Chains A and B, each alone.
Chain A
Amino acid sequence: MMCSLALFPPPLSGDGETSQYNESNTDPSVWFEDSPALNLYFPRESLKPHSRQESSSKSAFRDHCETLYTRSAGAWRDAGLSGLLNEIANSSAEVPKWLGVSSSCVLALLRWVSSFHSSLFPHLTLSSEEMTAEFSQVLDWSDCAVRSFAWHPHTQKCAVALSDDSIKIYNPKSATTPTLKHRLQRSVAALQWKPLCASALAVACHNCLLVWHVDPTSLSTRPSSGCAQVLSHPGHSPVTSVAWSPNGPLLVSASPRDTAMLVWDVAVESCVPLHRVGGGGVTYLSWSPDGSRVLAATPSSLFRVWETRMWTCERWPSLKGRCQSGCWSPDGSRLLFSVQGETVIYALTFTDNPGVPLMMSGGPKAATVVADLSETTLNTPDGDIMVGGEIQSLVWDPRGERLAVHVKGDAGAGRPAMIAVFKTQISPAFKLLPCGFVQGEAGTEPRLMQFNPNYQHGAQLTVCWSNGKITHVPFCFMSAGNPQPGLGGSPSLPLTQGRPADYNNQTLYTELIS
């Protein structure tokens, strides 16, 4: 049997400041260890819209005539062959006629070929900004004040990328909040902290990758651009996704325009492109927590699962649409993913032993549908509400106990975007149980969410809302896998209680491991 939204408890009628959650409607600040809460608020008005267009600075300078040779060399350097041809074709007054005509012809031919290419892959006609917005995990990326958010994997520290192209780093234990700005840091699509490191933060930017080294002991609030490594590769822009290997020095990056996924050795700034035919680009990457596999989604109806020992991949074609989002169980054995245009969650199970070469032979043969999030009407005291829709993103908490699903909704049809939370169990059998909805203030919708990996008492979901607020929703539970003895004595911790208990005995999706 499959889990569907109809089995969910209806959301509470919402009001008030804090985001709501059915299990424990509490002030999040209580749950932030012994340090002040990181309730951040970025009203959109306070962020200057970035008006940094390439031409904007031109007016400040006097027109300067360069020779054709200089301009051509510059065009060759900046934009390659097509730039050079363009430059020659545009300056027909200065070049011999045959050269101008022939370069126009070659340019037209190139454009014709590339138009053929983009008819195969329609996403190539998008501009970089549109492409980032299209493939980002953030709902309505271009309109969002918070472009990206990343918790540090080991310590209470988070990085927030804002729409003014700055990144702020918040640490509850420190008074300084460094602001990272860089000339190349434009339209940030993704952030991730390097595991097993205190300082390195990878930023997927407009046309490069930046790896910031933010010294945690430094008191500087504006680290210089010298603290950032710039990793760029021709043809690799815009970068829409990055993922660090959980136990190594490697970083993978993806761009929808580049068919190759790049594997970077960040310390030495070298990269190995992994080319595969098909797909037309790579949009989203997710490295499994045990480090053995990487999910790579493409803009067409195909995704790949790479194993990281010998870097071979397994293709998953013939989806209904492109793979929009995916997440791994903590042990790396199970991959949940969602497909654009569909309202269901698929699961893939990898039963083999990581570390054995050619492991792909033991991979799954078919994906199974584990949850259905199609539109449903739920009865609440305030009247019926519609929930469900396409899935924007999926996140699984690091212990594998909660799965948060960001449902896109449809504002026109009266279905708000919302976050549905499932309880999950991985062993001995994979189970998916409904848990509840997370709602914000009236009129706001969630844009982006991530679980805090350092929350001791259960799981904590950080949600960025459309009004620029970032709140943290705690889920307190006793972990079935490793019960924490110290927790029971604390009176202020409400354990799972209330209405969801009625649903606890319903096993909605159970798959016995054979």
Chain B
Amino acid sequence: MFSSDQSCWFVRKVICWRAVASMAWSVLLLLPTTALFVLLSRFSLFHPILWISECLSLLTSASAIFSFILLCGVVLMVGFFNLEYYTVVPSIACSKIALLGQVLHPRQFVHSLVHCIMGVVVAWCCAFTIGGRYRSLGHPCTQDESSSGPEMCLNEYHLVLLLVGAFIGYSHSLVGVVYNMNYVSFHTMQQYKYLRFKGALPLVVKASAVQALYCLRTFLLLYFFMGYAPRAWICKTLDLNINSSIHSLDSVSSLLDLSLLYHLWISGTFLLLTWYITVLLFRIFVTEVYSFPVQSTFTEDAHQCLPKVITGTQPMILKFLALQDLALLSQHSPSRRLEVFSLSQPGGHPHIWTALSKECLSLLSDLTERLVAHHDTVATNGRAKSQSTGGNKRSTTSSEGSVTSVGMEDMKTPRPGALIRTPGSVFLRSSVGAGLRTPLTIPFTPDLDSPFSSPALRRLTGPLEPQGALSPGFSSIQSPHVMRRGPKLWSASTDSQLNGSPPPSPGPAPSPSQAQLKPSFLVTFLQNRKDQLPEASSQALFADSQVHIWALQGLSHLVAASFSEDQYGIVQTTLPTILSTLLLLQEAVDRHFKLPHTSSKPGHCSCSMGDDSYKTLRFALRSTLKTSVYRITATFGGHLHAVQMSAEHRKRLQHFLEYKE
């Protein structure tokens, strides 16, 4: 599935093997899970011996092995989808519209469809395992009058179980988008894989049980009202009869059959559990620390060394793991630190340190730029709505670079289009583009975050962009006035919440062509939907901040260690730059946290498998930034007075030296 230019050595040699290992483990774990499922699904309190012997004979039968092989296939498929869809930078929908865009994205559609089918397969295996009345889709029956011989009638229990599987499979895929289940987060604490798995297993079991319960509730409601449709369709397609002597299942009394509910629930739990375990194992394996060599004696391995890898941009995961390794080596490994501080053998240049520090600093200053640009956009929107040109120009110039460097969408003309979509996704994109300078998100960060990329949605948003008709080829390019409005909408929504006024209708029209356009119902509706998630823009700004956190940790630990370990004084030459970068970022972060909605902590949803740690990355970044500056000031103390820096920064640094920040 990887196109040739993206399959770098790291993906081939490390990531794929990690994925394969995680899949192998999930297949192995399928054995006990299945056995447990068999035991629980055939549980009978009053005939324990019969129960155990039946389960044992079932587990050893050939047909059970066939369904087990089917389950293995499903698990491998889920594992493959994990590998294909995972991302280390979450795609954050800044509005409900963007979220809808993600859900309707063709890529997501494939995901949902395949999961739906796999749900059916798993449910079929469950039905087969439980046996009894669930065993097969048709059962012989004798219709009383007309027919002479036995006919096949529809077994509705079987059908319901299959439908539950399909429903849970689809909702798994859907919930995965909404809660970013494909997002792989890195942990602050390092633990061995087994211990991490052991710690997470109870949560996964609980999450799957609870999730299955919720899914079942929704499904039963749906089936109660619309159960007739699939039943009739199946009967028609497969030429089955409906047994009129048995009551159909979409009635209250038959749906409240406890045994049926239990079997449906336990099947759903089993389905989700196997999938969640696969996801969990994949996350654990793929985020494992990879130790890159700091320098290599052979030139052919040079591209695998930390300084090369960290500046590289190919797969995002490589960059993340490289920075994680940098942060860890700077804290824990004196011998590897010595290599960082060493000079190149002929020439005596500190190439390694230069490469590492340069990359970290460029990441940090990129974040600073992003924050400043975001703050400026918000400020201009809030202040003057009619000063269209000024703010417009600024944002155009600020986004110019990012747009040109994005390059992965078919944009022939660099127009300020990228900024139009919800601000968060723009900054996310520009971070990927400008910060890492090449489109490296393709295999690892699926392009789900562009809300208007699906044709359906483009049509929906048509009224929003009257000039869009002039440039039909560029899906994401919109007219400047919308661009200005896009960011304004959610910032204005914060105002409206503060003042208690109703959500704003579209502001004064800046261009004459726009003036004639009456805001239709759809426009108002869409914009109201766009106002919904004000905090998301801040989350989106910091979506990839794990990189920055590691860069900060790595830099500050290396600088602190250089106080005693740097023999040649190579760190001193970069110290002024490092300090000024940190202080500038500190200033930008402080300003950002003064914006409304940025300081509010999101509630934790503990019961879902979705990882919401990206929601709090900005707090982690803020705290790490402060700690990093303190680490440098605490190590160097008064010596920092000798460092060249501007008066403003000196004042700021003095605050840090006096522990007053």
**A residues neighboring B (CB under 8 Å):** 152, 154-155, 157, 196-199, 216-217, 247-250, 263, 265-270, 272-275, 309-312, 354-355
In the A-B complex, the 3 residue pairs with the smallest Cβ-Cβ separation, listed nearest first, are A267-B623, A268-B616, A355-B332
Point out the residues of chain A lying under 8 angstroms from B613, CB to CB: 268, 270
Q: Which of B58-66, B189-197, B412-420 contacts A (4 or more CB under 8 A)?
A: B189-197
Give the shortest distance, in Å, between B589 (CB) and chain A (any CB): 12
Identify which of B191, B332, B617 contacts A268 (C-beta below 8 A). B617
Within 8 A of A (CB), among B611-625: 613, 616-617, 619-620, 622-624
A249 close to B659 (CB less than 8 A): no
Residue of A nearest to B630 (CB): A196
Q: Smallest CB–CB gap between A280 and chain B, Å?
A: 19
Known: A272-B187, A312-B192, A354-B332. A266 touches B660 (CB 8 A): no
Cβ–Cβ < 8 Å partners of B622 in chain A: 267
Contacts A197-B627, A198-B661, A354-B332 known; list 17 others, CB within 8 Å. Answer: A152-B659, A155-B658, A196-B631, A198-B660, A247-B631, A250-B189, A265-B188, A267-B619, A267-B620, A267-B622, A267-B623, A267-B624, A268-B619, A273-B199, A274-B199, A312-B192, A312-B195
Q: How far is the CB of B660 from chain A (nearest CB, A)?
A: 5
Q: Which of A154, A274, A275 contacts B634 (CB 8 A)?
A: A154
CB distance from A33 to the nearest CB of B (A): 13
Chain A: minimal CB distance from B594 (Å)? 14
Residue B13 lies at the interface, judged by CB distance under 8 Å to chain A: no
Nearest CB on A from B43, distance (A):
20
Query: Cα distance A157–B660 when bound, in Å?
Result: 11
Is there an interface contact between A265 and B659, defined as CB atoms closer than 8 Å?
no
A309 touches B187 (CB 8 A): no
- Bound complex: CA of A270 vs CA of B658, how far in Å? 30
- CA–CA, A240 to B626, complex, Å? 28
Greatest chain B CB density within 10 A among A217, A248, A268, A355 is at: A268
Q: Does B601 sit at the interface, judged by CB under 8 A?
A: yes
B581: Cβ under 8 A from any A Cβ:
no
Is the beta-carbon distance between A247 and B331 smaller than 8 angstroms? yes
Contacts of A249 in B (CB 8 A): 188, 620, 623-624, 627
Question: Which residues on B sit within 8 Å (CB–CB) of A216?
Answer: 659-661
CB distance from B292 to the nearest CB of A (A): 16
Residues in chain A near residue B519, CB distance under 8 A: none
Give residues 547-590 of B contacting A (CB, 8 Å): 557
- Nearest-neighbour CB distance to chain A for B420, whole angstroms, equals 31
Question: Is B334 among interface residues, defined by CB-CB distance under 8 A?
Answer: yes
Query: Could you list some 5 contacts between A and B, CB below 8 A?
Result: A154-B630, A268-B616, A268-B619, A272-B199, A311-B189
Q: Does B601 contact A269, Cβ atoms closer than 8 Å? A: yes
User: Closest CB-CB distance, A463 to chain B, in whole Å?
Assistant: 24
User: Considering residues B333, B622, B659, which has the most beta carbons from chain A within 10 angstroms of its beta carbon?
Assistant: B659
Instruction: Tell me whether A268 and B620 are in contact in the complex, defined as CB-CB below 8 angstroms, given that A310-B190, A310-B192, A312-B192 are known contacts.
Output: yes
List the A side residues contacting B626 at CB < 8 Å: 196-197
- Cβ of A30 to closest chain B Cβ, rounded Å: 23
Least CB distance from B279 to A in Å reads 18
Q: Max chain B CB contacts within 10 Å: which of A272, A274, A312?
A: A272
- CA A309 – CA B291 in complex, angstroms? 14
Residues from chain B with a CB closer than 8 A to the CB of A275 are 199
Chain A residues with CB below 8 A from B188, complex form: 248-250, 265
The docked-state distance in angstroms from the alpha carbon of A267 to that of B613 is: 11
Q: In angstroms, how far is the closest chain A Cβ from the Cβ of B372?
A: 22
**Distance, CA A91 to CA B557, complexed state (A):** 61
A-B contact count (CB 8 A): 83
CA distance A272 to B334 in the complex (A): 27
Give Cα distance in the complex from A354 to B659, angstroms. Answer: 29
**Residues of chain B with a CB closer than 8 A to A354's CB:** 332
A155/B189 in contact, CB under 8 A: no
Contact residues in A for B601 (Cβ distance below 8 Å): 269
Q: By the criterion CB–CB under 8 Å, are B191 and A310 in contact?
A: yes
Q: For B620, what are the chain A residues with a Cβ–Cβ distance below 8 Å?
A: 249, 265, 267-268
* Complex: A311 Cα to B190 Cα, angstroms: 7
A270 and B616: CB pair below 8 A? Answer: yes
| Residue-wise interface mask of B (330-341) relative to A, using a CB-CB cutoff of 8 A (1 in contact, 0 not) | 011110000000
Taking a contact as CB atoms under 8 Å apart, the answer to whether B634 and A196 are in contact is yes
For residue B616, which residues in chain A have a CB less than 8 angstroms away from its CB? 267-270
Complex contact A155–B334 (CB within 8 A): no
Task: A272 to B623: give the CA distance in the assembly, Å.
Answer: 19
Chain A nearest Cβ from B285, distance in angstroms:
16
Q: How far is the CB of B12 from chain A (nearest CB, A)?
A: 26
Q: With the chains together, A434 CA to B333 CA distance in Å? A: 37
Say how far B203's CB is from chain A's closest CB, in angstroms: 10
Residue of A nearest to B192 (CB): A310
Q: How far is the CA of A155 from the CA of B604 in the complex (A)?
A: 35
- Docked Cα-Cα span, A249 to B619, in Å, equals 11
Chain A residues with CB under 8 A of B623: 197, 249, 266-267
Q: How far is the CA of A274 from the CA of B199 in the complex (A)?
A: 8
Tell me which residues across on chain B come within 8 A of A267, comparing CB atoms.
Answer: 616, 619-620, 622-624
CB distance from B582 to the nearest CB of A (A): 13
Distance between A271 CB and nearest chain B CB, rounded to angstroms: 10
Kindly state the separation between the CA atoms of A248 and B328 in the bound complex, as whole angstroms: 12
**Chain A residues with CB under 8 A of B190:** 309-311
CA distance A250 to B623 in the complex (A): 11
CB distance from B610 to the nearest CB of A (A): 14
Q: How far is the CA of A265 from the CA of B187 in the complex (A)?
A: 10
CB closest residue in chain B, given A355: B332
Q: When the two chains form the complex, which single residue of A197, A199, A310, A355 contacts B334, counting CB atoms closer than 8 Å?
A: A355
B191 cross-chain contacts in A, Cβ below 8 A = 272, 310-311
Contacts of B659 in A (CB 8 A): 152, 154-155, 157, 198, 216
Bound CA–CA A152/B622 (angstroms): 21
- CA A157 to CA B626, docked complex, whole Å: 19
Q: Is the CB of A196 within 8 A of B627?
A: yes
Q: How far is the CA of A112 from the CA of B191 in the complex (A)?
A: 36
**Could you tell me the distance between the alpha carbons of A404 and B576 in the complex, rounded to whole angstroms?**
42
Distance of A248 Cα from B617 Cα, bound (Å): 16
Hey, which chain A residues are within 8 Å of B661, CB to CB?
198-199, 216
The residue in chain A whose Cβ has the minimal distance to the Cβ of B617 is A268
Contacts of B333 in A (CB 8 A): 355
- Measured between alpha carbons, how far is A197 from B656 in the docked complex, in Å? 9
B268-305 at interface with A (beta carbon < 8 Å): none
Cross-chain contact of A197 among B332, B557, B630 (Cβ < 8 A): B630
Q: Which residue of A lies closest to B291 (CB)?
A: A357
Residue of B333, B613, B627, B661 with most chain A CB atoms under a 10 A cut-off: B627
Contacts of A155 in B (CB 8 A): 658-659
A198: chain B residues within 8 A (beta carbon):
630, 659-661
Chain A residue at minimal CB-CB distance from B560: A247
Determine the distance from Cα of A61 to Cα of B1 in the docked complex, in whole angstroms: 68
Among B613, B622, B661, the one with the most A-chain Cβ atoms within 10 Å of its Cβ is B661
Chain B residues within 8 Å of A248, by CB: 188, 331, 627
Nearest-CB distance from B325 to chain A (Å)?
Answer: 13
Q: Which residues of A contact B199 (CB under 8 A)?
A: 272-275
Residues of chain A lying within 8 A (CB to CB) of residue B660? 198, 216-217
Contacts of A311 in B (CB 8 A): 189-191, 195
Write the nearest CB–CB distance from B559 to chain A, whole angstroms.
13
The residues of A that contact B331 with a CB separation of less than 8 Å are 247-248, 355
The CA-CA distance from A152 to B619 in the complex, in Å, is 23
Please name all residues of chain A whose beta carbon is closer than 8 Å to the beta carbon of B630 when the two chains form the complex: 154, 196-198
Question: B334: which A residues are within 8 A, CB to CB?
Answer: 355
In angstroms, Cα B434 to Cα A373, docked, is 66
Smallest Cβ-Cβ distance to A216: which chain B residue: B660
Q: Please report the C-alpha to C-alpha distance between residue A154 and residue B620 in the assembled complex, in whole angstroms.
A: 22
Query: What's the Cα separation between A155 and B658 when bound, in Å?
Result: 8
CA distance A310 to B557 in the complex (A): 19
Q: Which residues of B contact A199 (CB under 8 A)?
A: 661
Q: How far is the CA of A267 from the CA of B188 in the complex (A)?
A: 11
Residues of A within 8 A of B189 (CB): 250, 263, 265, 272, 311
Chain B residue numbers with a CB within 8 Å of A247 are 331, 557, 631
Q: Which residues of B contact A250 (CB under 8 A)?
A: 188-189
